[in-house]
Amino acid sequence: MSNLTKDQLWRLVQEAEKIIQNSYAPYSNIHVASAILSESGRVYLGVNVENSSYGLTICAERSAVSAMVTHGDRKPLAVAVVTDLADPIPPCGACRQVLAEFNPDAVLILYSTKSRKYTIMKLTDIFPQPFKL
C-alpha cells in the first residue's frame, strides 16, 4: 500500500486513542480523534469539537490537518481516524476533500476503540475524484 510500516500506522492509532476523551461531542455523543503522520515525520493530533450550531462543528481530521498546517507541514502520509463506536468510520465528505487537498494518496487507518476492529485503505479508495481547480 505504501512505504509505511504497520508500526507507524499503529503508533498513529495509539496517539489518537490517547486523546479521544478530549473530544467534545455533547450532541451526537460520537467521539472521534485523529492523528496525522506528515512527510516530515511529525505527528499531529485533533479531536471533533461539536457546536449547537451544527455547521460550526469541526471534525477530528480537519482539526489535525489544521494543526499540521499551523506547524508548517503540508503533506499527510497517513491519517488515523479513531472512534468509540462499535465499527470504524471513514472521514466525512468534507474531511475527504480537505485531506485530498494535501495528499490524495494518503493512507487511512480507521479504528474502533470499542471492538478493536480496523481497516486500512488509501484515501483514493473512498474518494477517487476530489475537487480541483
Indicate the domain borders of the chain: 6-124
Q: Which residues pair with residue 36 across a beta bridge?
A: 44, 79
CA distance linking residue 30 with residue 68, whole number of Å: 23
pLDDT for 13 equals: 98
What is the fold of 6-124? Cytidine Deaminase; domain 2 (3.40.140)
The whole-model pTM stands at 0.96
pLDDT at residue 2 is higher than 90: no
pLDDT digits (tens, 9 = 90+) for 68-126: 999 999 999 999 999 999 999 999 999 999 999 999 999 999 999 999 999 999 999 99
Task: Compute the average pLDDT of residues 10-17.
Answer: 98
Catalytic residues: 61
Position 19 scores a pLDDT of: 98
DSSP helix/strand/coil, 122: strand
